Structure 1
């Protein structure tokens, strides 16, 4: 399956009321974020370790508008905080694609 197809399938699954079975905790958090469920996404990611979890955590705080907290999590992820030119949807897609490739 190509990355685009994987992303498209993941995006299409947002039409369902619950995430598809078999998603990693990281992708489950992104699935809830894709549904616009910030609190549920944050609850899913808050206690998870690792750079990718920190990246998702950073993205969520950027979405929330808490840029100082987002900057902290981007540093923990080993990434630079995107400037305002990179939209939240674009960053969400980039994270999903990277995690789908890794799964």
Structure 2
């Protein structure tokens, strides 16, 4: 898979925006990379935060993770951030 320029920076920005409570910015950012599993995972967490379990589960289905795998979204975002920073 080829990645668009600055994708890693964008994913980290989406995570930081989500942690700061800026759901709209985070959501807009991850929508740019809907074919990437890490972007889909962030997208799933965003819908979990929003309280949209059905949409969240859809985005989880595009990853290797599940809706109930993490009870704490901040911890989950920290795990995703580590994966992005370590280069997958």
TM-score normalised over the length of structure 2: 0.81
Aligned length: 80
Shift of 1:82: 2.0
* RMSD, aligned α-carbons: 1.7
Shift of 1:38: 0.3
Q: Deviations over 1:38-87 (max 9, x none)?
A: 0110011113121111000001000101000000000012321125x621
Q: Could you tell me which residue of structure 2 aligns to residue 66 of structure 1?
A: 52
* 2:60 equivalent to 1:77: no
Can you give the 5+ residue segments of structure 1 that lack an aligned partner in the other structure?
Answer: 1-22
Can you give the 5+ residue segments of structure 2 that lack an aligned partner in the other structure?
Answer: 1-7
* 2:55 equivalent to 1:92: no
Q: Could you tell me which residue of structure 2 aligns to residue 34 of structure 1?
A: 19
Larger radius of gyration: 1
TM-score normalised over the length of structure 1: 0.70
Q: List structure 1 runs of 4+ shifted beyond 4 angstroms.
A: none
Shift of 1:102: 1.2
